[in-house]
Structure 1
């Protein structure tokens, strides 16, 4: 839970184990940094409202609010190991990732009735158990802005969403996607400000191209991590970040080399490089050829883990040169499309070493209207089996642990 690292909060707890099948841990000592803010108290869970079908891609028009988070800034964390607790094990950092998050449209009605913490009441445990948790923020956070023209779905979510994400244990958001500028540059700048106000770093966007392609640098468990966000899906070139122009880090032809350079530079500053990518075709189970090409480009440049989104459905996993690629985590906090396949989602857990080797686990979830709910029993197993069936040389056991199967 990076809020403990960024804001200097006291963080203890973790009665659960981490990856499935691991022994439960006792309380961890507090992590600290230069800040002095106390962690926000957890909010009680609320009930689940009914839901109905929405637009064809699971999206619906809404509204937005915003603020600014710093990028390219390192936030050191003290070692959380207990003194005298036996032989030292290789340090590992525990990461958690989820897909698209937005509180616009009909989701806005849900959070206004049940509270902005409502979407995360079931998922926050997994975010708070992680050292660092990240999601794709699929909306601007603003109360103003000029809506994008010629788009079927245009979002605007309340700036209160930023505090709710932080309270839930989300530590980093990706803004490189096809909705961050739905309310123009004004809405994007407001989003930066909303995130900055709650000490929530962002990647994939900036006040100019230099900032958009600059990693967020974090440290946890003695491991330095760099996070970058890139999108291959924007409606028009005006969304590109440029010299003295706010916008997004894009990877269309002519820009992907810049992304590879950003990855290589990040690797010089960190032990572990994570890329969050927005790409692919909506409601398609398998990655496009260009997704594979970009993933390999990032890994060849130094990335250790790739986590994707945009298709609104789960896509498969595969390894390249020993590095994991998760092509799409689907929707997470979203409206409800008519296609049930868009209701399936997951939290991806990754436990990574300083050398950049990661072990993965998939935690199945179900996307209700404005809330993600864990899937257990036969329904959860069905999701795991489906992800395995659309993955390359991958086995996923009943607890969600992912294994690479050699040919």
Structure 2
């Protein structure tokens, strides 16, 4: 709950500074070390592609925390509770139902959060439209802002993925502010959290524009996690915290970031000790004398493309170290394979994977710093120049 506590402190700080016009305008001086910045919620994902998760519907006869009113037009209705706040002890939900209307599969969302779906739109079940904002559904819900329970709203996408109904929130945050005469725009997403509206679990930010000059595209190397640093006009600011509902972020100026350890590009790579699927124990100090690639794939989840990408990297680059991270890896394979489910490798997992299905690829130079990071399936666009250098 560390990020939640930080967000709570932010709100306390805000309440004591609410008469400060500079704060209200997101306007700061270069002498200010801590920036408390108000964000604005935006429809859709824009430059930040997000995922979705499968919906596990239950029958009406199952146990639910409260009753709802079902629309008469839907037969054989089943229900799903989309939890809105993963950090609050009290549980809040958005109700989603599916069923049959006129022999067609349909669904409905409690868009106004009144526990009555008879006044909500009934929609046909269709293939997920990942890149379109047209089918997004706006819904209201309860969530903690770190200080009190408030009513908020956002957009969700619902559609079929491999013949199964998926749901995911579809929003991003923008923060516009200035430091003296420099204007900035930062985008924020909750990268892995498609199943609630909570921020702080895996929030990431990226600079979108500076003094009117916009960035056309954002990739993984541009995103900064909580605790990582963003450069604003030559100064380094740590992405220190975000409120539970994403309403505020804090950036803290720090010096000597060149000595920081982490997986942000330019940082000193975290040291590690691992055991391979063949039972060999390897220390990072024996690897970092030449370029080392830590390649996450997700073959355990049926993702053939990311697993094949690892083997392509291994076959194309012989004079580097390539470590493969996944689960349920066969023990007779050539190369350095690390099973993330082996308890010995948990520290390594926390440093270089941090989620069950990861496709992140880290490149570590012989100076022990992170040279680059990208999705493993993009290796052909990134590795050739790095390895040549």
**TM-score, with normalisation over the residues of structure 1?**
0.26
> Could you say which structure has the greater relative contact order, defined with CA pairs below 8 angstroms and 6 or more residues apart?
1
Q: Which of structures 1 and 2 has the bigger CA Rg?
A: 2
Greater helix proportion: 1
- Greater strand proportion: 2
